[in-house]
A and B are shown apart, each in its own frame.
Chain A
Amino acid sequence: MGKLIPMEGNQAVAEAMRQINPDVVAAYPITPSTEAVQIFARFVADGLVDTNYVAVESEHSAMSACIAASLAGARVMNVTAAQGLALMWEMLYIAASMRTPVVLSVANRALSGNINIHCDHSDAMGARDAGWIQLWGENVQEAYDNLIQAVVIGERRDVRLPVMNNYDGFLVSHSYELMELEEDAAVREFVGEPVYVRPMLDVSNPYTVGALDLWDFYHEHKRGQWEAYGPAKQAVVEVGQAFGERFGRYYGLLDPYYLDDADLVIVALGSTAGTIKDVVEQRRERGEKAGLLKIRCFRPFPLEEVADALSSAKAVAVMDRAAGFGSGWGTVYPEILTALYHKGLVLPTVDYIYGLGGRMILPEEIHQVYDELAQVAAAGGTAEPLRWLGVRV
């Protein structure tokens, strides 16, 4: 049995890393993720793990080292945020293209400028098409649970993709919550021994990676990579189920809350989903059929599942904690519309851009969204489908 103890998100991530005992961690500290690698570095110094901890000179180098170590045959982890993730950008694509199951925890933080250290989702949303699996946690427990599952999902033979474990900067990374810390042996048993596929240090089976790949083969290689995201989605489902059977907390692609009969649905990811759950309960007490669709797995995007989940809604609001500058929307909203369109669903929708750079999101504002959504549902649509929430005018 695990034990209930209060922990910060970063601490929980570091504890999961200790329990998993990866072969290599190459990291460069950046707020608000610093504490996770700082705590983990202490575990290394204290001999609690066997990890080869590589102190690198930048996040670009950190991800480069992770990819190389993964290719060499190691189980590899890293933690970063915001500018750190941005500096890794080109290596993110390479990690996915080379099919290295690197696990990267991201304490989501706004991208500069101006300089800001607080939560929004612009860092990971910018990397959404880099080819990584993206899990989004709501709280400390999920940051911990998702990290453990990420290892198993990414390493599956039919997947072999890097996995990003997203948890909101400060709101989760620095917030103490009561969580269940599982026993070391149970976690190690769940993640199992690393699945080594083609370790480059196996000198009796040499091969070439990262070769020049021009008009003649690149197109086919990308088509091949495309194929991995079907099994990846399946892996997220199956590993979430297996995790539930082992530890009692079940996970899927989505986390619906009072959704089955909901008329007014908010779609959200990250810690705001927790705030919305409280508000849903309050609205339900008033007799309003409010519901929440939390997206836990944003990549691969669960298109059919999202459409099914929203098929009986009367109106849908999407909470976007990143602005898709020039697109006219946030970053999640267009994906939701795509899902609805493919199902032939036409219903009133509103996109809310909120909480940028750590702007507080309060239950009153979620109530405001449900109030507005009720009006949109009654009117059968809106002439103002993009709204900025909580912004001074």
Chain B
Amino acid sequence: MSDEPRVYPPDTGWKDLAPGGIVPQAGNAECYSVAGWRLVHPVRDNEACIDCLFCWLYCPDSAILQEGGSVKGKPIDMVHCKGCGVCAAVCPKECIKMVPESEAAEQGQTG
């Protein structure tokens, strides 16, 4: 029902949860961060990218963001990227590299 929470804050007590372990409203996967699952981080070489959109199409978490039919130079949604590497695997130009999260952090590319 619409007055029920779409997302339970992490500090929600047991009395405030709906019975049956349900999430009262649907369509809320976007509210869940999987950044903590990630071990490797996609880094795209935007010079080599040909905007074929394979990465955008194949990403299981819709984390590759596009604008006007182009992903080149656009940010990747690092809240929903879990580092699976599908984008790198399908890239025909091999322009996406999966780098360790620690290296990505050093380069200032945090999620």
Interface residues of A (CB under 8 A from B): 97-100, 160, 198, 205-211, 213, 216-217, 220-221, 223-225, 228
Contact = CB atoms under 8 A, between A and B. Distances in A.
A239 to B, nearest CB: 20
7 smallest beta-carbon distances between A and B, as pairs: A206-B26, A208-B23, A220-B14, A99-B20, A223-B14, A221-B21, A224-B14
B13 interface: yes
Most buried by B among A99, A213, A220, A223: A220
Contact of B26 (A208, A217, A225): A208
Given A209-B20, A213-B21, A224 B27 contact: no
Contacts of B15: 224
A289 B26 CA distance: 62
A114 B13 CA distance: 47
A27 to B, nearest CB: 24
Contacts of B22: 98, 198, 207-209, 211
Interface of B: 1, 8, 10, 12-15, 17, 19-28
Contacts of A198: 22
A225 B14 CA distance: 9
A213 B17 CA distance: 12
Given A160-B19, A205-B1, A220 B24 contact: no
A343 B60 CA distance: 58
A206 B25 contact: yes
Contacts of A209: 20-22
B14 to A, nearest CB: 4
A287 B29 CA distance: 71
Given A208-B22, A220-B17, 5 more contacts: A160-B19, A205-B1, A207-B26, A208-B28, A209-B20
B59 to A, nearest CB: 20
Contacts of A205: 1
A221 B14 contact: yes
B8 to A, nearest CB: 7
Nearest to A71: B20
A211 B19 contact: no
Given A207-B25, A207-B26, A224-B14, A217 B20 contact: no
Contact of A97 (B8, B14, B20, B23): B20
23 contacts: A97-B21, A98-B21, A99-B19, A99-B20, A100-B20, A206-B25, A208-B22, A208-B25, A208-B28, A209-B20, A209-B21, A209-B22, A211-B22, A211-B23, A213-B21, A216-B10, A217-B8, A217-B12, A217-B17, A220-B13, A221-B21, A224-B14, A224-B19
A213 B14 CA distance: 13
Contacts of B19: 99, 160, 224-225, 228
